[in-house]
Copies of this chain bind each other. A is one copy, B any other.
Amino acid sequence: MRARFAKILRREAISRKTTSTELDPLSIRLIELMQKDSDIGLAELAEAAGATTSSCWRRLDELRKTGVIQRSVAVIDPAALGLTVNVFVQVTLEKQNEAALRAFQNRIARRPEVMECYLMSGDADYLLRVVVEDLAQYHRFVVDHLTTIPGVANLRSSFALDQVKYTTALPTAHLRGSEAVGDPAPRRKPPRGSARRKTE
C-alpha cells in the first residue's frame, strides 16, 4: 500500500521510545496482513480486518509512526538475479574487545552480499549468511573482504544445498491471549491451578 508521508513520519518515529505498548487485535491483524502483502488496498484490508477504512488507515499510520512497521520492501526472486548460492560463515576473532567487534561489524554491514550477521554465543563469534552467484564469487568475497578485516582469526564456511524456507513474516501467535493462529491448537498447558477435577 502506498504511504505517502512515510518518510516525514519516520523522523519522529526514531525519537519515540519503542514502547512495548500492548497491541490490540486490529493492530495484530493489520500486521499479519501487511507482512503477507503490503500492496493490498485499504478497502481489502478493512474488510479482512473487519473494520472501516478510516480505522485501518489511522492504525497503520500509528504503527508506522511508532516504528512497529518500519517500511515496505519488494521481495525479489534470488534466482532471477542469479543468486542461487547461500553460504553460512562462522567467524572467530582474535580478540573480543569492544573495538574489535565494532570494526568487524562496520566492515560487514557495508557488504551487500552479507544478508544477515549475528553475534553468537558458543564457539564462533559471528554467524553470517552470504548470498552469491557461485563459489568463485564467494571465494573473492572471502579473500577480498572477509580476510582483510583486521582481527579475523578463523573462518568456517557451510554451504546450503537448498533454501527450504525463507520468510520475512514474523510470528504473531504469541500476541494473542490464546487461540493460536497457524495452529490447530494442540494442547495448551493449563494456567496453573486450573487443573480439571470436577469436570473429569
Contact = CB atoms under 8 A, between A and B. Distances in A.
Interface in A65-121: 66-83, 86, 88, 105, 108-121
A53 interface: no
Contacts of A47: none
A159 B161 CA distance: 23
A175 B81 contact: yes
Please classify the interface of chain A as helix (H, G, I), strand (E, B), loop, or mixed, using the class held by over half of its residues: mixed
Contact of A174 (B39, B82, B86, B108): B82
Say how many copies of this protein the assembly contains.
2
Nearest to A79: B18
Interface string A31-73: 1001111110100000000000000000000000011111111
Interface residues of A, number: 81
Interface of A: 1-4, 6, 18, 20, 23, 31, 34-39, 41, 66-83, 86, 88, 105, 108-122, 126-127, 131, 133, 137, 140, 144, 158-175, 181-182, 186, 189
A38 B108 contact: no
